[in-house]
Structure 1
Amino acid sequence: MTFSLRSRQVYLPGGPRPATVTVDGGRIAAVSDHDAPVAGPVTDLGPLSLLPGLVDTHVHVNEPGRTEWEGFATATRAAAAGGVTSIVDMPLNSLPPTTSVAALREKQAAARGQCHVDVGFWGGAVPGNAAELPALHEAGVFGFKSFLVDSGVPEFPPLDRAGLAEAFAAVDALFIVHAEDPARLGALSASRAYAEFLASRPPAAEVSAVDTALAVARESGTRLHILHLSAADALPALRRARADGMRVTAETCPHYLVLDAAAVPDGATEFKCCPPIRDAGNQDRLWGGLADGTIAIVVSDHSPSTPQLKRRDIGDFAAAWGGIASLQLGLPAVWTAARERGFTLADVVRWMSTGPAHLVGLHRKGRIAPGADADLVAFAPDETFVVDPAALHHRHPVTPYAARELSGVVHTTWLRGTVVADEPTGELLLREDVL
């Protein structure tokens, strides 16, 4: 079926302008002037902006094995409601973790027929599986995640420096690293005080681990991506590495750009994540990293668990699971903060759609251009809403954004030209060079 969408603000690769976007067979067939005559039905979006669907390359779906924490049906429904049309699932906290081809096949089988958006997969690099990595890469994962610190689950242990070097040498692939140095972490006993939790995971732990990852990548020439950067103190090392020509990128997350450690109430374990939410001065410097391109993308690190594991009953930051569920709220959260700092919606599209698609080589995603998938979002940037946890689609209504007023409302999400509704129509994605 051929149809067109018309908007005064279509976010194209060259910037926003009035345009008509024609869709045919699930792809964008043409981008025309706003008033150009086109074949087939036309929907005028009126005051709504038309964005490319967001691409979130950092999502923990947790299925199979821990589906009570989340799951493909609930996570992808939340994604679509937030304007996200493609996600890449992390290799943990599912059981089994995605550290072998057999485990990947289990995860793909669990996802098939449940997804409301398109879903790809990361592989995992853990001690002892370096020999598995080439086959897993050939099977279509987008790259490999490793931890330099305890992951929180025993089946996905961390790599030391030698293990990281062994993994990097095993396959020519994109490696994504959770960079915290366990030797720089402080002890944390039972505590309701967020300040004590924050002090136990200082910026020095991130800086040290980023330095380690950069040193190993420099020796091997590996393409490296630093996950969920929280500590702005690591930015100078990343800038130097990029200036030296290293293939290194970094991401941060909405909670690091929006939430402030000083405003986290004691006992409010819904705010716990690792690395942690830091102070406002640090946050300002992260925005500076986005402005100068040192940080390339913003993704959710959607890491949900059951309310019981968040230990909201006792408010103990030492005992609580560390993860924030924000897949549905990332776009309005980032847009609300970005516009206050003078950034544009085009910047947000670059950080949350085009950039993540480029990171993982999804060349038909993240842009409104002829030949691209018709993954589109009708978005009202000036509308506001108050976050009601009960209105969120992820499995458990736990969020640090509860009762916060945000700007930007997703009205409609199209996946390959079809409005995302109750029927799951998402496809499983493979790295494009193995298709």
Structure 2
Amino acid sequence: MTIAVQPPSPVPAVADAAAAVDAEGLTTQLVVLVSTRAVLTLPDDALVLSPATLTISPATGKILSVVPAVLPRSAFPAGATTRYVDYSPHLLLPGLVDAHVHLNEPGRTAWEGFATGTRAAAAGGVTTVVDMPLNAIPPTTTLAGFQAKLAASRGQCWVDVAFYGGVIPGNADQLLPLVEAGVRGFKGFLVHSGVDEFPAVAAADIARALHTLRDTPTTLMFHAEMLPPIADSVGDVVQTSAPPAAPVGPLAAYATFLASRPPVFETCALEQIVWLAAEAAAATDLLHLHIVHLSATEGIPILRAARDHNRLNITAETCFHYLGLAADAIADGDTRHKCCPPIRSQTNQDGLWAELARPDSVITTVVSDHSPCTPDLKLLPGHLATTAAAAPGPPYMHPSDSGVDVTMPGEEEEEEAKKDGSKPQTGAPDPAAEQVMSLAAASTAAAAAAAASAAAVDPADEAISVDITTADDNKAVAATCGDFFAAWGGIASVGLGLPILYTEAQRRQQQQQQKQTCGHSGETKDVLSILDIVRLCCQATAQQVGLAHRKGGLRAGLDADVCVFDDSADWTLSAGEMRWKNRCSPWEGHRFQGRVQATWLRGQAVFALGGGGAAHDGFVCGRPVGTAIVEKRTARSGVPARVKAAAAETTTTTTTTTTMTRAAVVEDVTA
């Protein structure tokens, strides 16, 4: 096999590499990485598995050449000017680009920070993370907030870090300045985010963001959960008119939590986003719409119709925990598994894998959604509590994290009235609110009765699922029972994605082979190869955030970001091997196939498993060498070519219909 853009002979390749360094006016220095197996990127962006020799300039941090063969050490200049490393038989992969990470700095550094989060990323072969705009204080919703985050990151990053901005009510005038400053995209919530400084957007806010960004090369992303309609009017009103589906059953039972956030929460939000984008005709070749952490397979047909029939430039991501964990195996009280949207059934997981395997999949990327917290906020029961020391607690958070505020309608006004001595405003009864109150009261009573009968629990304790008034009291109660409704929702996993995905892919492949051995015929529908994993976690994530001209592939001219992966390694994750700040994760104790052996960032060795001595924990470069990526995004790196091709195959222009009644967007977004 010959890569067209590379010299066909190994000798010219080496000569060209050395000449390229000399042409820069530098001392001839060369890093050469070789292996019998590597995933290389061809000029047309296709991926191939091949032997490879990578020549790298340490001065520029770029790949100089890629030769599809293993060249010997003798083919390169002798002496200390050349560093030659043969990683055979391990795989050379592009450094992963994790496009969904919460680093929480500044403001909530007890949860995570640039130093610890990026160390964990580097140890897992991730060479670029994209930091989410919320959970830091201030959030990245203004230019000043972005500058504060950049200042906090300086000198702390072990990998390269890019940034998203946030869309919240009232910050439309900040979006274009943030684009100019270098954010890679924007994220908004259709439900309460869990932190008060990052409020949810309503239909008018979404429409204004679409209008503002429609001619801008960026990505507009949404946490797609919203409450299903409880009346003829939805849209803006529904965002604050009701709590989540009231729990019926023990609050420590995962089944109770799962039932409270059904797939319709996701499908309603998707329908709303698609409808608004279609009305605005805003999802163009420049503005890319993206759905973060898709959990429910019921959302896939909506996205496919939006792309193929409505001609929207829209994609979705899913997460490692949705692909490697299933509700069927989650123990009651183990709130390490809580996230929103929730981890769903094994059948749902199978559907996600089947979609990923489709050549025209609407799920184009897989990310971690690393969202850690201090262990105390997980409210784990004693037998599941980790040994990690809990850092000082952050400002009080809404227990519904990344979901819906469970404060009942009118409750916040009553609390404010108590503070200033005034009486809350009253008026005509709100039928929707009354319906919610009635439903919540009935559900809570039923839940309390069931719990009291089964475990002699004080029914009053069950009320914390709906009536959150005293945070400290509720935490004390929940801490004894692993309350899924009061615990913080978020899963720590940055740096674990590659072994998670590879392990599950191998398991599914083995199952398929066993079926065929037993005489069961049938097409393999959900098996991913290492090429697929690289596409989903490196190439497409780089494209999603406009960094494909630098990141996500092993090709001449790109950053020399390399992950060395031993796909034969068998290991079990212990708490001591977690490198993020708080060692609390549902992946503890899981057995994996495949482990990252080394990570190179722009031609510099950052991590080597077992290297650097015990004091350095594998980090061989001595100091953080990552940088903040603040270059302005351009139109040269859009959505993956396979997504455009899939949309082009469909010529039907019919518009999808939904069962929801659409609320009018009353604000003039052109004002």
Matched with 1:31 is: 66
- The within-5 A match list for 1:110-259 is 110-171=152-213, 172=216, 173-183=218-228, 185-188=244-247, 191-220=251-280, 221-222=282-283, 223-244=288-309, 245-259=311-325
Q: Which one of the candidate residues 104, 110, 117 is aligned to 1:62?
A: 104
State whether residues 139 and 434 of structure 1, in contact with CA within 8 Å, keep that contact through their aligned partners in structure 2.
Answer: no
Q: CA deviation at 1:265?
A: 0.4
Are 2:338 and 1:272 equivalent residues in the alignment?
yes
Q: CA deviation at 1:328?
A: 2.0
State whether residues 7 and 48 of structure 1, in contact with CA within 8 Å, keep that contact through their aligned partners in structure 2.
Answer: yes
State whether residues 180 and 632 of structure 2, in contact with CA within 8 Å, keep that contact through their aligned partners in structure 1.
Answer: no
Matched with 1:401 is: 587
Query: Residues of 1 paired with 2:500 and 2:121: CA distance?
Result: 14
> What is the TM-score of this pair, normalised by structure 1?
0.97
Query: Residues of 1 paired with 2:182 and 2:567: CA distance?
Result: 36
Query: Residues of 2 paired with 1:343 and 1:246: CA distance?
Result: 27
Are 2:537 and 1:360 equivalent residues in the alignment?
no
Q: CA deviation at 1:182?
A: 2.8
Matched with 1:386 is: 572
Q: Secondary structure at the match of 1:146?
A: strand
Are 2:607 and 1:417 equivalent residues in the alignment?
no
**Backbone CA RMSD of aligned residues:** 1.5
State whether residues 251 and 485 of structure 2, in contact with CA within 8 Å, keep that contact through their aligned partners in structure 1.
Answer: yes
- In the superposition, relative to structure 1, how do residues 431 and 145 fare at CA in structure 2: closer, same or farther (>3 Å)? farther
Q: CA deviation at 1:340?
A: 2.3
Matched with 2:384 is: none
Higher strand share: 1
| C-alpha distance after superposition, 1:163-201 (max 9, x if no partner) | 111111122331010000134641248710100000010
Query: Residues of 1 paired with 2:529 and 2:69: CA distance?
Result: 21
Q: CA deviation at 1:240?
A: 1.2
Query: Residues of 1 paired with 2:598 and 2:531: CA distance?
Result: 19
State whether residues 94 and 561 of structure 2, in contact with CA within 8 Å, keep that contact through their aligned partners in structure 1.
Answer: yes
Q: Which one of the candidate residues 54, 57, 78 is aligned to 1:21?
A: 54
In structure 2, what residue type is equivalent to 1:252? T
State whether residues 91 and 566 of structure 2, in contact with CA within 8 Å, keep that contact through their aligned partners in structure 1.
Answer: yes
Q: CA deviation at 1:162?
A: 1.7
Structure 1, unmatched stretches of 5+, are none
Query: Residues of 2 paired with 1:303 and 1:281: CA distance?
Result: 25
Q: Which one of the candidate residues 307, 316, 327 is aligned to 2:375?
A: 307
Q: Secondary structure at the match of 1:403?
A: coil
In structure 2, what residue type is equivalent to 1:95? I
Q: CA deviation at 1:219?
A: 2.2
Query: Residues of 2 paired with 1:213 and 1:318: CA distance?
Result: 27
Structure 1 stretch 405-414 or stretch 1-10: which is displaced more? 1-10
Matched with 1:316 is: 483
Matched with 2:417 is: none
Query: Residues of 1 paired with 2:303 and 2:634: CA distance?
Result: 30
Q: Secondary structure at the match of 1:336?
A: helix
Query: Residues of 1 paired with 2:70 and 2:485: CA distance?
Result: 59
Structure 1 stretch 188-197 or stretch 351-360: which is displaced more? 188-197
Q: Secondary structure at the match of 2:305?
A: helix
- Between the aligned residues of both structures, percent identity stands at 48
| C-alpha distance after superposition, 1:291-336 (max 9, x if no partner) | 1222100000000001011111421101100000000211100111
- The within-5 A match list for 1:364-379 is 364-379=550-565
Aligned length: 435
Q: CA deviation at 1:216?
A: 1.4
Work out which of the two has the higher radius of gyration on C-alpha atoms and give 1 or 2: 2
